[in-house]
Structure 1
Amino acid sequence: MHYAETPPPPELEGLVEAVWTLNVATEGWVDHQAVPDGCIELIRRHSGRSVWRREQPGLFVTGLALRPAMLRFSGDARFTGIRLWPWAWHALGGAPCRDFADDWRPVNDDSPLAALFPDDGDPTPRLAAAFRGLAPPPLAAIRHVASVALLARLAGLSERQLQRICARETGMPPRSYLRLLRFRTAVAAVQRPDALLADTATASGYADQAHMTREFRSLGGLPPARARKRAKGPFI
């Protein structure tokens, strides 16, 4: 399986988390487990087949994951994906996140969302055009904080205002969304071959390695030591 990510250019920072490609390139069908990362995934499948709970169309969007998702890909499946922060998804006119958490929805080929993908190339220029003049909202600071209180200060909002905004944009309280982001940071960190698990736990914001292990089992379905051996980007 060949998976690659491209970070967004500066003008898309806080709106687009990454553009990625996946080429399964194997015989038969393969199973992979995707883990929560706090983002909405707009996905174009160029070839092959994919299944998550049910057969997926060529263009679809996945909601915020709250638990591991078991995916099946045919060996000839090939994808381009756009990983969006929830507020950016809503800015594009996407359905409320709370309505399809832990699930996916088809996207019509005549939708403006479909126009973000060129036939078989990098969607970044079209994303830059779609978001031109749009700045990330104050809630975007949640990507860089460890507590709701600090986020409220940085965003210039009361905690009650922040609760309402986060519920509207993510479908969950700020603490629940921060939990997903902390786990996302840890999944990326354990893939570094020289990272010690105890150091990763501290750097990711966990109380200790045992706390991180519990979260990996809950959100990823396996302990961090096994995730280190198996993980490729968001796939475990």
Structure 2
Amino acid sequence: MHYAETPPPPELDGLVEAVWTLDVGASDWVDHQAVPDGCIELIRRHSGRSVWRREQPELFVTGLALRPAVLRFSGDARFTGIRLWPWAWHALGGERCSEFADDWRLVRGDSPLATLLAGDGDPMPRLGAAFREAAPPPLAAIRHATSVTGLARFTGLSERQLQRICARETGMAPRSYLRLLRFRTAVAGVQHAGALLAETAAASGYADQAHMTREFKSLGGLPPARARKHAKGPFI
């Protein structure tokens, strides 16, 4: 499996998390487990087949994952995906992500969203045009927050206001969304060669390594020591 990510340019920071490509490159069907990362994925499959819960179309969007998902790909499957923050997905006119958590939705070929992943070309210029007049909302600061209190202090919003905004944009409470982001940081951290698990736990905001291990089992389905052996991007 060849998986690669391209980070967004500065003007898309807080809106686009990454553009990624995946080429399964296998002789038969394979299973991969994807884990929660707090983002919405707009995905075009260029070839092959894919199954999650049910057979997927060529163009679809996946909602916020709250638990690990086992994905099945045919060996010739090849994808391009855009990883969006929830508020950016809504800014593009996407349906409320709270309506399809842990699931996916078809994106119609005549939808304006389909033009973002037209053909095999780099979608970043089209994303730049789509978000030309947009700016990340105050909630985007949650990506760098460690607590709701700290987020409120940084944004100048009350915790009650943050509760309402986060519920609208993510379908969950700020603390619950922060949990997904903390886990996302830890999944990336265990992929760093030579990093000690205790150091990764501390850098990710966990109380200790045992706390991180519990979260890996809950959100990823396996302990971090096992995850680090197979982790590649969002797959473990």
Question: TM-score, structure 1 length as denominator?
Answer: 0.99
Residue 128 of structure 1 corresponds to: 128
Aligned to 2:112, the other structure's residue is in SS state coil
Aligned to 1:211, the other structure's residue is in SS state helix
Q: CA RMSD in A?
A: 0.5
Residue 164 of structure 1 corresponds to: 164
Distance 1:45 1:156 in 2: 42
Q: Offset at 1:44?
A: 0.3
**Counterpart of 1:221 in structure 2: which amino acid?**
G
Residue 145 of structure 1 corresponds to: 145
Q: Offset at 1:118?
A: 2.9
Distance 1:198 1:47 in 2: 41
Residue 186 of structure 1 corresponds to: 186
> Among the aligned pairs, what percent are the same residue?
84
- Indicate whether 1:210 and 2:217 are aligned: no
Distance 2:110 2:123 in 1: 16
Q: Offset at 1:109?
A: 0.4
Gaps of 5+ in 2: none
Distance 1:140 1:158 in 2: 15
Residue 32 of structure 1 corresponds to: 32
Q: Offset at 1:30?
A: 0.1
Distance 2:3 2:88 in 1: 23
Distance 1:74 1:201 in 2: 35
Aligned to 2:172, the other structure's residue is in SS state coil
Q: Offset at 1:156?
A: 1.2
Cα-to-partner distance string for 1:36-62 (whole Å, 9 max, x where unaligned): 000000000000000001000000000
Which of 33-42 and 109-118 deviates more? 109-118
**Counterpart of 1:154 in structure 2: which amino acid?**
F
Question: TM-score, structure 2 length as denominator?
Answer: 0.99
Gaps of 5+ in 1: none
Residue 234 of structure 1 corresponds to: 234
Q: Offset at 1:154?
A: 1.1
Q: Offset at 1:155?
A: 1.2
Number of residue pairs matched by the alignment:
236
Aligned to 2:136, the other structure's residue is in SS state coil
Q: Offset at 1:193?
A: 1.1
